[in-house]
Amino acid sequence: MPDAPQTIDPDGRLGHPQVRIDGRAKVTGATRYASDIALPGVAHAALVTSPIVRGRILGFDLDAARAMPGLLGIFTHRDFADAIRPVAHLMAGGYANTSHRPLGSDRIAYAGQIVALVVAETSEAAHAAAGVVRVRYAPEPFAGGFDAPGAEAVRLADLKSDHADPRVGDDAAGFAAGPVRIEARYETPIQHHNPMELFTTACAWEGGRLTVHEPTRYVEAVRHGLAAQLGMAAADIRVVSGPLGGHFGSKLALSQHTAPVALAARRLGRPVSLVPTRKQCFTIANYRPESRHHLRLAATRDGRFTALVHEAEVTTSRFDPFAMEGTDVTARLYACPAIRTEERAVRIDRNTPGPMRAPPEVPYLFALESAVDEMAEALGLDPIELRRRNDTDREPIAGKPFSSRPLMACFDAGARAFDWARRVPEVGAMRIETGEGAWRVGLGCAAAVRPVKTGPATMRVSLDAEGGARVETAHHEIGNGIATLLAMGASEWLGVPIERVAVGLGDTALPAAGLSGGSATTTSLMHTLHLGCGQVRARLAAAAATGPLQGVDPASLRLAEGRLHAPDGRSLPLAEAVALCGGTVETLAEFVPEGAKPGALDAVRAGRIALGTGGMGETLSWGFGAQFAEVHVHAETGVIRVARLTGAFAAGRVLNPLTARSQLTGGMIWGIGSALLEESVLDRGRYRNDDLAEYLVATAADAPRIEAVLVPDADTAVNPLGLKGLGELGIIGVNAAIANAVHHATGRRLRRLPIRAEALL
């Protein structure tokens, strides 16, 4: 490989804790999020959304709204229906979070659907005017949930052509061979992303060119999606997404509110900015759908699984194919000769759901890892020991090997850090007394696993004669610290101080890159950067080898501390090498991961999803973890407190332990909210608790002692740098670990999330 880059130096910057390069700006408030952009002459938009779930708009009464001071325009389907063309959902090869066409007709397909856009001189005036828009509706019957009349179950395999329910062996024979059996049903609720930064957009035209400032994880999808909706050339649209103020799985791709705002800006001849309300963010974007699971598990008396059946259902909208493929993971986690799964999506009258941090693993592993705990209890076996007896280095469906399988290493490291040995096996045997009364103490654990994803990306890497480096790509800083990692990598691989590395992200004017999601960011971008730095190094080395470092093998030159170093001890300042190349050395890296589908890079350039094989190729590559929870349950009131969480995680090479721990502990804190607090409650088809007063998320007061242990995972087969990504791993398994701990404390097996005190009374 002529461009062979330097590998990771154990004494270098990568792999050691590095404070975020954007940390100071964030904590001092200097960071500008997309929502902070104040465009000159901007007008402000507000949304009117449907209170009915299904039916038809009969008419509007706009007189009161039109009379409001500062009103500039009111736009409904009568204004925009033909102006916005349909765009497919991103899982159907399109760009959109929902294929439902905004302001497309008089039909109402779900509660909270956008029915009008009101624009005024100020945000206050726009919201006031939106508040007096009167809409007359003809409501129709609707299906609001799983069992409602009109709900339509579809096998996932029929919904998604690339899904096959994992199956192996004969489950009847498996149950016959396993005398110890568990059968249980589990349920998880609707959960909504509630990032601090709302789902905003701001659109400005300059001649025929449109610029959009919007928090999104995929600027290219927004750009190409808008181009398709508005019948424009993608080259005439620029999408800028500064650092995101949180997303958690939302802010995915083309949002439905962007095209109406862009059209309003064009018609009014001035920029328009939309800040929806928190309530509207429950329906104009995606969310985690409810799920239910039927688990049957059989084992021999010595704890070997003989059969596993996992049937699951999730809800989805009438019109989109979003559904999660959770049995891909639950069917492959443990050794078992007979496995049968079936997944169904149930179409109902709801806005389209979407990914939320570890989309399938959070609900599906809640079910499986609860069932495994129930089996351990039935067998009278320690839950870790049961997992050890069913550990495997080959997945059971097709017998494919894992590139590494440190699951039990995680359980062992976690058990040590958590002091699992102090757990008294008998249920209800551990108690403490505090000033608040008597508490039952429970200790529970669960596995966390997630397939590795990698995507193609392009990146410009440059080095100037003053020793400054630039790294630029249309990928996004979603809060995970990728800007810091890129600066660390460029510093190490180009041999420049980290302070001299400038990182540009989140703009379609930069080289194309894919969706920032699927825990694929570090893996995708660090390989792209590695390639780019290798190309820069090769150019410098070739010039040096024909000049001052005459005779040296160019491939042997290393960049470090501002110099090119030859193995014979000679060296050359980088500035001189750059000058030999005629000034700035600039290169475009085009990274395509091994095993990517043909055309993956073109797909990313066109704003489509191209996230590799998802760790499910001929060799399975997964990240692993083990979660441990200690809960205290008040003996009289049933109040549940998580006293301690320990997670041990093995997810390949860790490049910045500081941001890695931050990702993992953040996920674990969210896991507490997921297990005990979060649920969107439906009332007659509408979300009832759609604000932060009633939709409860975990706060600092809910967060106990949390420890994330990093377990070594030297997986050289997964990819050249041994990276797996861990953005989503930290939340996985927390639900089950807490539910299992509650059972250990109280003897009550709670199979529906969130677990609330009232369920224990």
Binding interface with ligand MOS (CB under 6 A): 249, 355-357, 359, 517-518
DSSP tag of 752: B
Please give the Cα distance from 654 to 644 (Å, whole number).
24
Closest separation between CB of residue 732 and ligand MOS, Å? 11
* DSSP H or E run through 175: helix 171-177
Q: Say how far apart CA 79 and CA 16 lie, in whole Å.
A: 56
- Report d(CA 498, CA 490) in Å as an integer: 8
- Based on CB atoms, which residue is closest to ligand MOS, 414 or 652? 652
DSSP 597: P
d(CA 621, CA 625): 13
State which residue, 73 or 289, has the beta carbon closest to ligand MOS.
289
143, with CB counted inside 10 A (0-12, 13-18, 19+), is: buried
> At its nearest, how many Å lie between ligand MOS and the CB of residue 515?
7
Nearer to ligand MOS, 174 or 518 (CB): 518
CB of 667 to ligand MOS, least distance (A): 11
At its nearest, how many Å lie between ligand MOS and the CB of residue 453? 9
List phi, psi (to 5°) of 305.
Answer: -65, 135
The nearest distance, CB 355 to ligand MOS, in angstroms, is 4
Contact present, 3 and 534 (Cβ < 8 Å): yes
Whole-number minimum distance, CB 252 to ligand MOS, in Å?
Answer: 6
Provide the token pair at 336. 């078992």
CA dist 444 and 438 (Å) reads: 20
Going from the C-alpha of 701 to that of each of 309, 665, 669, 671, 689, the distances in angstroms are: 39, 15, 11, 14, 21
Place of tokens 């250990």: 744
Residue 215 · residue 199 · CB < 8 Å: yes
Q: Return the number of the residue (175 or 322) whose C-beta is nearest ligand MOS.
A: 322
Q: What angle do CA 687, 690, 694 make, to 5 degrees?
A: 115
User: What's the min distance (Å) between Cβ of 611 and ligand MOS?
Assistant: 9
Minimum separation from the CB atom of position 248 to ligand MOS (A): 7
Q: How many CB atoms lie within 10 A of CB 390?
A: 19
In which element (H, E) is residue 219 found?
helix 219-230
Is the separation of the CB atoms in 165 and 171 below 8 Å? Answer: no
CB nearer ligand MOS, residue 355 or residue 383: 355
Which two three-digit tokens encode residue 489? Answer: 């990598």
* Beta strand pairing call for 430-434 and 437-451: antiparallel
Q: Smallest Cα–Cα separation from 206: which of 44, 33, 41?
A: 41
Say if residues 73 and 255 touch (Cβ distance below 8 Å): no
Residue 408 three-state SS = helix
DSSP state of 420: G
Q: Sign of the CA dihedral 454, 403, 666, 11?
A: negative
From the CB of 478, what's the least distance to ligand MOS, in Å? 8
Q: Is 628 helix (H, G, I), strand (E, B) or coil?
A: strand
Nearest distance, CB of residue 244 and ligand MOS, angstroms: 11
Cβ proximity to ligand MOS: between 356 and 753 the closer is 356
Q: Which two tokens stand for residue 317?
A: 């909208």
**DSSP secondary structure string for all residues of 538-604:** HHHHHHHHHTTTTT--GGG-EEETTEEE-TTS-EEEHHHHHHHTTS-EEEEEEE--TTPPTTHHHHH
Q: How far is the CB of 727 from ligand MOS (least distance, A)?
A: 7
Nearer to ligand MOS (CB atom), residue 320 or residue 492: 320
Instruction: For residues 174 and 697, give the distance between their C-alpha atoms in angstroms, rounded to a whole number.
Output: 41
Residue 436, CB half-sphere, CA atoms under 13 Å: how many?
12
* Closer CB to ligand MOS, 245 or 249, in the complex: 249
CA distance 446 to 628: 7
278 to 195, 275, 282, 286, 706: CA distances (angstroms): 10, 9, 7, 13, 30
| Least distance (Å) between residue 197 CB and ligand MOS | 16
DSSP 247-297: -TT-S-SB-TTHHHHHHHHHHHTS-EEE---TTGGGTSS--BPPEEEEEEE
Q: Would you say 518 or 754 has its CB closer to ligand MOS?
A: 518
Smaller CB separation from ligand MOS, 359 or 489: 359
Q: Which residues face 620 on adjacent strands?
A: 402, 616
Of 20 and 357, which has the nearer Cβ to ligand MOS?
A: 357
- The residue (of 303 and 727) whose beta carbon lies closer to ligand MOS is 727
576 DSSP 8-state letter:
H
Annotated catalytic residues are: 728
